[in-house]
Amino acid sequence: MAASANADALKDQVAPTGKLRVAIAISPAGGAFWSTRTENGYAGVPVDLGREMAAQLGIPVEYVVHQNSGQITEAAAKSTWDVTFLPRDPERETKMTFGPIYEVADATYIVKPGSTIASFAALDQDGVKVAAVNATTTMRGAIAHLKRAKVTGYQTYDEIFDLLKGGEIDAFALSRDQLNAMARKIPGTRVLDETFKQTVTAVAVPLDHPLAAAFATKFMTDAIANGTLRKAYDSNGLKGSPVRTEVK
Per-residue model confidence as pLDDT tens digits over 131-159: 999 999 999 999 999 999 999 999 999 99
Cα dihedral 229, 234, 238, 241 sign: positive
pLDDT for the residue numbered 28: 87
d(CA 72, CA 86): 9
pLDDT at 2 over 60: no
Report the candidate in 57, 53, 67 with the shortest Cα–Cα distance to residue 24. 67
Report the candidate in 214, 207, 200 with the shortest Cα–Cα distance to residue 248. 200
How does residue 30 score in pLDDT terms, banded at 50, 70 and 90? confident
pLDDT for the residue numbered 8: 84
pLDDT by residue (tens digit) across 172-183? 999 998 999 999
pLDDT by residue (tens digit) across 216-231? 999 999 999 999 999 9
More confident residue, 240 or 3: 240
d(CA 13, CA 16): 6
H, E, C per residue of the chain? CHHHHHHHHHHHHHCCCCCEEEEEEECCCCCCCCEEEECCEEECHHHHHHHHHHHHHCCCEEEEEECCHHHHHHCHHHCCCCEEEEEECCCHHHCEEEEEEEEEEEEEEEECCCCCCCCHHHHCCCCCEEEEECCCHHHHHHHHHCCCCEEEEECCHHHHHHHHHCCCCCEEEEEHHHHHHHHHHCCCCEECCCCCEEEEEEEEEECCCHHHHHHHHHHHHHHHHHCHHHHHHHCCCCCCCCCCCCCC
Across 24-35, average pLDDT: 92
Q: What is the mean pLDDT of the chain?
A: 94
- By the 10 Å C-beta count (0-12 exposed, 13-18 middle, 19+ buried), 58 is classed as exposed
pLDDT at 21 over 50: yes
pLDDT for the residue numbered 7: 76
Across 60-80, average pLDDT: 96
pLDDT by residue (tens digit) across 77-113? 999 999 999 999 999 999 999 999 999 999 999 999 9
More confident residue, 64 or 11: 64
